[in-house]
């Protein structure tokens, strides 16, 4: 008798817990309708941006390897992850019946892509690492963290796997810059001044489409700043230097 009561109590507790969890989960309540034309139209550009971004990230890590040949193995690993990400996001678009607008995405990245290529030609490794492993990765991390909260279940699962890798990539750039800070600080500051405004422009450009996917611009900026500032702190810059660098986004 005593035992039976115990089991019943536990079941009641368990089912209460479930109800509370479900009703307290705002993520479940605010998901957009993934089947509307307006959602698919916005997704055709955002999905393309992400696919193009992953492809360029792949190419950029292999390019960076030409500047640090003894890191070839590690950088090839990172590049491989980017190809996996590209495949994952391609599947997300296919799953929703969306055709990615790759032409739009190429234009979206063209200025940053150009700056990376110039730095590569000049052998400016610090600039290459800042553009790819800090700015682009922090941008991707902010986008993916926000997207996970409002994505369809298929894309959510894929994006959760991807964002874990992106932190490894951010960390790669961070550790190299940390070790070489004394010799690369000036170039880092200068490259940031040129390229952070481009990231801000890209965010402005994508904000409308992102809002159709229920992604909030303020949240994107907040997530970006967290990843960006955290990394600069880990690299070994002080508060004033970090503030000065972040300020480049608002001029
Ligand atoms: C680095 O590994 C990848 C770089 C990709 C950059 C992505 C930027 C994304 C901005 C658009 C925000 C929407 C995210 C939605 C994901 C399907
Ligand atoms: Fe990636
Ligand atoms: Fe990455």
Surface-to-core class of residue 196, CB atoms within 10 Å of its CB (0-12 exposed, 13-18 middle, 19+ buried): buried
- CA 185 to ligand 1 center in whole angstroms: 27
The pLDDT value given to residue 28? 54
The pLDDT value given to residue 18? 40
Rounded distance, CA 46 to CA 155, Å?
Answer: 13
- Return the ligand number nearest the Cα of 91: 1
Q: What is the pLDDT along the chain (251 residues), one digit of tens a residue?
A: 344 434 434 444 444 444 444 444 444 567 999 999 999 999 999 999 999 999 999 999 999 999 999 999 999 999 999 999 999 999 999 999 999 999 999 999 999 999 999 999 999 999 999 999 999 999 999 999 999 999 999 999 999 999 999 999 999 999 999 999 999 999 999 999 999 999 999 999 999 999 999 999 999 999 999 999 999 999 999 999 999 999 999 87
Element of type H or E holding 73 = helix 72-96
Q: Considering only CA atoms, which residue is closest to atom 8 of ligand 1?
A: 140
Ligand 1 atom nearest the C-alpha of 137 is 1
Place of tokens 């996001």: 89
The pLDDT value given to residue 29? 62
The pLDDT value given to residue 19? 40
The pLDDT value given to residue 70? 96
- CA 121 to ligand 2 center in whole angstroms: 23
Is 150 near ligand 1, meaning CB less than 6 Å away? no
The pLDDT value given to residue 30? 75
Mutate to test the pocket of ligand 1, among 140, 146, 208 (most ligand atoms within 8 A of CB): 140
**With contact defined as beta carbons under 8 Å apart, do 67 and 128 qualify?**
yes
**With contact defined as beta carbons under 8 Å apart, do 93 and 51 qualify?**
yes
Place of tokens 């904000």: 207
The pLDDT value given to residue 251? 73
- CA 213 to ligand 2 center in whole angstroms: 20
At 228, list the tokens: 């960006």
Rounded distance, CA 60 to CA 227, Å?
Answer: 20
**With contact defined as beta carbons under 8 Å apart, do 223 and 199 qualify?**
no
């Amino acid at each position: 008798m005593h035992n039976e009561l115990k089991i019943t109590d536990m079941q009641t507790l368990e089912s209460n817990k479930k109800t509370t969890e479900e009703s307290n989960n705002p993520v479940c309540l605010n998901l957009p309708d993934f089947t509307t034309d307006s959602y698919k139209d916005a997704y055709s550009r955002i999905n393309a941006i992400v696919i193009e971004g992953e492809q360029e990230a792949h190419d950029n890590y292999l390019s960076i390897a030409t500047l640090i040949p003894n890191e070839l193995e590690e950088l090839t690993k990172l590049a491989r992850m980017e190809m996996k990400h590209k495949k994952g996001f391609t599947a997300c678009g296919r799953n929703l019946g969306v055709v990615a607008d790759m032409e739009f995405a190429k234009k979206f990245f063209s200025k940053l892509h150009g700056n990376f290529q110039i730095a590569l030609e000049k052998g400016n490794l610090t600039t290459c690492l800042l553009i790819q492993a800090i700015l682009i990765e922090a941008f991707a991390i902010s986008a993916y963290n926000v997207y996970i909260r409002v994505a369809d279940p298929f894309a959510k699962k894929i994006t959760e796997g991807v964002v874990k890798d992106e932190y490894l990539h951010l960390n790669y750039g961070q550790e190299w810059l940390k070790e070489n800070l004394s010799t690369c600080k000036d170039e880092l500051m200068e490259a940031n001044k040129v390229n952070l405004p481009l990231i801000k422009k890209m965010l402005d450009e994508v904000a409308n489409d992102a809002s159709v996917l229920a992604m909030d611009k303020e949240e994107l900026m907040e997530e970006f700043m967290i990843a960006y500032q955290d990394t600069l702190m880990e690299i070994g810059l002080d508060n004033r230097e970090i503030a000065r660098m972040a300020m480049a986004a608002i001029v």
